[in-house]
Amino acid sequence: MKKYLERIVKLCFIMLFTLPIVAKAQTEQDGLMMGEKRLCIAGTYAYNSWENYWEGEFKRNNANIGVLSTRTAALMLNYGLRKNLNIMATLPYMSTVASQGTLSGLKGFQDVSFFVKWRPVKKQFGKQFLSLFAVAGYSTPSNNYNVDFMPMTIGMGSRVLNGRLTADYKFNKIFATISAGYMHRGNVSIDRSAYYTDHQINSSSVRMPDAGSFQFRTGYRNTRGFAEVFVDNMTTFGGFDIRKNDMPFISNRMNSSKIGLEGKYYLKSLPSLGFHANVWNTIAGRNVGQAAGFLTGIDYILDFPFKNSKK
């Protein structure tokens, strides 16, 4: 029995510290801040899969892939330097697998990302609150993972500079958040000495198109957590379409629009422990899989540096 408990504790520990985080769905996009000198440690597990995908605007499936699924475990840290200034770091571990065909799945740590989130404006007008946020971020591959075997790869291998503006409006417990981000992506070096996009390029360096990321989320929020619906769009500025029956490539023009539900809840009895989940579906896309997925996560918030027990 004791051994059993130990195992559970160990498992929880492993989940908390090695599981994913997911990355995007986390909080550099939302209208929330971690309190001053408080550290949030989050572990998330996410799953998504697709059967249909778009070659340019042509939607198809592929019996040589079947369903391509991606599992992501991520660890995220979010620290409140000030009450209006947070820093965050995320590292996901991912694995891919295709249900049919001969292509091998890949797995490994993906990109490590860092964000600084700043809330320059927080105004109250009676029961209405308005906050504005500015986020700057940088992400870089945590290792030299294989990027030249799409769609089985775990990432694009690009270093990304991220800038984002977010506005959050709340009336009573009802809120709406609108957010727009710009991703400036650095060139990626692939293992080949030449490749074809819409023309032949005799280099191993791939010019990556920049991309925009837009979100709208609205729902109910109180001190315990929130429940929301969201719309998420990624639009790549430039890049090229996958031709009919060609292989995908990192510099494709990848666009996608998703809708989803998301919620987070901190326990009444243990307010530093929170649970986080979402579920989403892709409603439109270009040169991407029509993925649907979910995420579950655990947050634990602690004071850092640790406060005296006196308090």
Q: Which of the residues 102 through 131 are near another protein (CB under 8 A)?
A: 102-105, 116, 118, 120
CB atoms near residue 34 (< 10 Å): 22
Token pair 């666009």 in the structure block, residue: 255
Contact range with another protein by CB under 8 A, out of 21-29, 205-213, 290-298, 301-309 = 205-213
Q: Is 192 in the site for another protein (CB under 8 A)?
A: yes
Can you say how many angstroms the Cα of residue 79 is from the centroid of all Cα atoms in its chain? 18
Nearer to another protein, 138 or 265 (CB): 138
Q: Is 298 in the site for another protein (CB under 8 A)?
A: no
Of the candidates 86, 83, 91, the residue with the CA atom closest to the CA atom of residue 111: 91
CB atoms near residue 11 (< 10 Å): 10
Q: Minimum CB separation from another protein for residue 177, in Å?
A: 21
Structure tokens, 164: 């984002």
Q: 45, 93, 115, 145: which one contacts another protein (CB under 8 A)? A: 145
Q: 10, 59, 173, 243: which one contacts another protein (CB under 8 A)? A: 243
* Total residues in contact with another protein, by rule CB under 8 A: 48
Q: Minimum CB separation from another protein for residue 221, in Å?
A: 26
Strand pairing class (128-141; 111-125): antiparallel
Return the amino acid letter for 302. Answer: L
What is the per-residue burial (b if ≥16 Cβ within 10 Å, else e) of 230-265?
Answer: bbbbbebeebbbbeeeeebbbbbbbbbbbebebebe
Beta carbons within 8 Å of 84's beta carbon, 6+ residues apart: 33, 118, 119, 120, 122
Structure tokens, 76: 């995220």
Nearer to another protein, 45 or 145 (CB): 145
Q: 1, 63, 125, 305: which one contacts another protein (CB under 8 A)? A: 63
Q: Is 200 in the site for another protein (CB under 8 A)?
A: yes
Q: Minimum CB separation from another protein for residue 104, in Å?
A: 4
Contact range with another protein by CB under 8 A, out of 25-33, 69-77, 188-196, 272-280 = 188-196
Instruction: Report the interface residues with another protein, using CB under 8 A.
Output: 60, 63-64, 82, 85, 100-105, 116, 118, 120, 134, 136, 144-146, 148-149, 161, 163, 184, 186-187, 190-196, 199-203, 205-208, 243-247, 249
